[in-house]
Chains A and B, each alone.
Chain A
Amino acid sequence: MSAVLGAAAALLGLAAALSLARLVRGPSMLDRAVALDVLVATMMAGLGVEAIAADDPWVLTTMLALSLVGFVGSVSIARFLVYRAPGAEEDA
């Protein structure tokens, strides 16, 4: 069981590293917002794996908080982008 959990943690870590690469590279801010959403979802899955590995479900409250506020970042990025003047480059 611990080998399975270790493999799952390795896969999740790799997924987080890949989305972090997109977060750094991503040509527009919207790509970064999407990558940030994936990173939050990966963190929540990692918290679930941690709860099983530690045999203690106390981190589920953190998962609840993340599922509540995880979408705020990309929503606010998208809102600010739409208010920009048309034709303005948002790459920064």
Chain B
Amino acid sequence: MIATVLTGACVLAGAGAALSAGLGLLRLPDLLSRMHAATKPQAVGLLMVLVAVGVRFPTGGVITTLLLVALLQLTTVPIAAHMVGRAAYRTGRVPRHLLYVDELDEALSPVPPGAGERPSGRGPDSGGEEPDAEH
């Protein structure tokens, strides 16, 4: 009985997280806000459904598969989000005037000559725009 209630509650919570992500994808104005909404079903919603499946089938093989799915999901989703956010920033999809803190801008902008030494051994004008070309 308790297992049935827990299964139903977890499934409904996961589906609700997925629905909130769908609404956020459609309603939110720019890419970073949509990425914020998109993380809900990828982490919380899917983990809720996995917990429900694990409660429903409490056998060793199923639990192992569910743990593997959760582990892979939680490691691959940040990679995709990182790559999308990086591409968005570098192609100018991120409206700069909406950001309160933009640490990447400071890190990527070239240091003017004579504006202070960098602690690393690189010259002051070698760290400018070209990290794009390498990766």
Contact = CB atoms under 8 A, between A and B. Distances in A.
Interface stretch (B18-26, B96-104, B108-116, B118-126): B18-26
Interface of A is mostly: helix
**Chain B binding site: helix, strand, loop or mixed by DSSP?**
helix
Nearest to A17: B22
A75 B34 contact: no
Interface residues of A, number: 51
Interface string B59-99: 00010011011001100110110011011101111000000
A22 B24 CA distance: 10
Contact of B84 (A8, A34, A42): A34
A69 to B, nearest CB: 9
Interface in A2-59: 4-5, 7-9, 11-12, 14-19, 21-22, 28, 30-31, 33-35, 37-38, 41-42, 44-45, 48-49, 51-52, 57
Contacts, number: 177
Interface residues of B, number: 50
Contacts of A81: 87, 91
A15 B19 contact: yes
Interface in B6-22: 7-8, 11-12, 14-16, 18-19, 21-22
A1 B16 CA distance: 17
B91 A14 contact: no
A33 B82 CA distance: 12
Top 6 A-B pairs, shortest CB-CB distance: A18-B22, A15-B22, A11-B15, A48-B49, A78-B87, A71-B80
8 contacts: A7-B12, A15-B18, A16-B22, A18-B26, A21-B26, A45-B49, A49-B11, A63-B69
Given A22-B26, A57-B53, 14 more contacts: A8-B14, A30-B87, A34-B25, A38-B38, A41-B77, A42-B41, A45-B46, A45-B49, A48-B53, A52-B56, A71-B79, A75-B79, A75-B80, A81-B91
